[in-house]
Amino acid sequence: MAARWFSKVEELENDERGRVFTWAKDKRIWLHLTAFLLFSVLIHGSGFYLFKVVYPSPVRVEADPDAITVLKEGDPAARTVLQRLADRTIFLSPPSDESEARVRLDSQEIRFTPAFQQAELSLLLPESMRGGPGKPEPLEGVTPEPNPSAVPFKLDPGLAERGLAPWSILRNYLSLADSLPGMRFSLEVAPGGEVSVTKVEAELEEAEKRELADVIESTLRFVPAVEVQQGWIELGGG
């Protein structure tokens, strides 16, 4: 029994047909391996050529550096920027000629819009038609009277003929004050309606005069005109 088992083990050891490579007996395995490698290189090379599989060329992208600009209160350009930020109706003004060049609208075009995506504008209901808890609704046929300013003011005849812009909020600021001492401001009005205070005549300190001049420059607006106008405005004293 043991002799038969040992003879079977010896036959299995001598039989090399189940092995991957029989280097000693099969000499043509080198030809098969070489042919396989050449065929593999040919297939992969054809795939790279047909499907244009290439390594991307390195391209250096210059990033735009970030910067912080400090706005000074005494700079007229900085005051103009701050006035535009504080102006609640700046969006009603027509766009300037420099806006397209500054924003580069041609490079910000919308190139693709899905068919299922629709953006439609709808008008909001006026305040008088919006109902809500605890909010009184106005009676029909009754027009509320405008809230007159408690502080009287007088404009230069030339500037009064030009007229205040609808987005001027000086009256709103004056309606918050009960009274003001008499003062006179010399104005220079730009063609766009922006105001610059050139002189303040009042019995106040210089710091208070500067604060009042900043309020006038940030809240007073005139209707756009062709040229620069000079004039004055008187507040208080009434």
In one-letter notation, the amino acid at residue 189 is V
pLDDT at position 72: 81
SS3 at position 204: coil
Cα separation, 167 vs 170, whole angstroms: 9
Q: Per-residue pLDDT averaged across 6-15, rounded?
A: 55
5-9, 20-24, 127-131, 213-217: range with highest mean pLDDT: 213-217
Q: Per-residue pLDDT averaged across 61-73, rounded?
A: 79
pLDDT at position 172: 79
16 close to 25: Cβ distance less than 8 angstroms: yes
Partners of 183 in beta bridges: 235
Q: What is the mean pLDDT of the chain?
A: 73
pLDDT confidence tier of residue 142, bands split at 50, 70 and 90: very low
pLDDT at position 90: 61
SS3 at position 187: strand
Q: Per-residue pLDDT averaged across 121-141, rounded?
A: 60
pLDDT at position 39: 93
pLDDT confidence tier of residue 37, bands split at 50, 70 and 90: very high
In one-letter notation, the amino acid at residue 42 is L
Cα separation, 28 vs 34, whole angstroms: 10
More confident residue, 4 or 74: 74
Structure tokens at 23: 């280097």
- How far is residue 103 from each of residues 59, 106, 176, measured CA to CA in Å? 26, 9, 38
Is residue 208 scored above 70 in pLDDT?
A: yes
87 close to 80: Cβ distance less than 8 angstroms: no
Reported as a single tens digit per residue, the pLDDT across 152-189 is 778 888 888 888 888 888 887 777 777 777 788 889 99
78 close to 71: Cβ distance less than 8 angstroms: yes
Query: pTM of this prediction?
Result: 0.38
Sheet containing 153-155: give its strands across: 153-155, 229-235, 183-189, 195-201
